Amino acid sequence: MIDQDTLGASTPSNRGALLLTQTVRSTRWVVTFSRRKPLGAIGGIITVILFVVAILSPVIAPYDERDTHGDYVHAPPGSPGPEARFLLGTDALGRDVFSRLVVGARISLYVGVGSVLVGITAGFVLGIASTYAGGKIDMTFQRFVDALMALPGLIIALAIMAVLGPSLNNVIIAIVIGMLAPVVRTIRSQVLSLKELDYILAARAIGASSKRIVFWHIAPNCFATYLIMATYYLGFAIIIEASLSFLGVGSPPDVPSWGGMLTRASQEHLKTAPWVGIFPGLAIFVVVLGFNLLGDALRDVFDPKLRGRE
């Protein structure tokens, strides 16, 4: 026999009411978050703008990023073009800087999100598993982490790119390996403190399995750290990608990444056409600043140790 309450809960009107309630709660949370953390709200707005620009780049860009206009080489910002105005000027080949900047947002977001999803998640899982296991497993794994920590992430990424060659996917692999050690070390420090808390000891005393302790007690309490590192390393990944492209070992030359645009700007007449390098550098600065502001605010909101402080 079908429960009438269950049947009523599955009707379209009730589902719509539930969706409306969840939307109202989410809106209230966003408003409260914006009032408590205005800088975090600014970072969130910058992040949302980046996602919108990256998704709608084919619609926003007035020109194809590879189209050259020989009559408009190093045209200053606002110069009239054959179809529209060159809002941010053109480069040494007559390509529209604004169009390349918009398409470059998609490249930066692809590298940043891809490397964070893989690198932070892998470091999160490995850090919790090895630390909770302890003993020789943890000691052996931490020696490998120490070896990675001995070198800066950019140096590791450079070495990997020198072997694998220029490619966006190879850039993601290099960034993931470069960020793995500090992520594991950060998660390990938090798990070590959580393992000795009373509620973990109580769970062991009543016979809770290691799987339950890890997934129901330790991992949720590390989620705030995961979220903070994800927002921080989004900006870090964009900087590393731009650095690798600037050094000539990142994305291929035909890909309009922000770092590659800076490289070509430095090789061209930067004094006569400064806008070629100013706008990509400004885009990197604003996006990384937005991620850091959002990450700091989310840490203050979600971290139990900081919750309630203003």
Do 222 and 187 touch, CB atoms closer than 8 A?
yes
Please write the tens of the pLDDT for every residue from 249-306.
777 777 788 877 887 777 666 677 888 888 888 888 898 888 888 888 877 776 655 5
DSSP 96: B
Please write the tens of the pLDDT for every residue from 131-179.
877 778 878 888 888 888 887 777 888 888 888 877 788 888 888 888 8
One-letter amino acid for residue 147 of the chain = A
Do 284 and 258 touch, CB atoms closer than 8 A?
yes
pLDDT at 205 (0 to 100): 80
Strand segments (E) across 144-207: none
Do 92 and 261 touch, CB atoms closer than 8 A?
no
DSSP 82: S
- Residue 80 β-bridge partners: 85
**What residue spans define the domains of the chain?**
1-36, 38-302
Average pLDDT over residues 190-194: 81
Class of domain 38-302: mainly alpha
pLDDT of residue 5 exceeding 60: no
Q: What is the rounded distance in angstroms from the CA atom of residue 50 to the CA atom of residue 286?
A: 10
Q: How far is CA 300 from CA 137, 296, 310, in A?
A: 33, 6, 8
Q: Which of 73-77, 101-105, 149-153 has the largest mean confidence?
A: 101-105
Tally the residues of the chain: 310
Per DSSP, the three-state class of 80 is strand
Q: Could you tell me the pLDDT band of residue 2, with boundaries at 50, 70 and 90?
A: very low
Q: What is the rounded distance in angstroms from the CA atom of residue 259 to the CA atom of residue 264?
A: 9
Q: Which two tokens stand for residue 177?
A: 């390996």
Q: What is the rounded distance in angstroms from the CA atom of residue 107 to the CA atom of residue 265?
A: 18
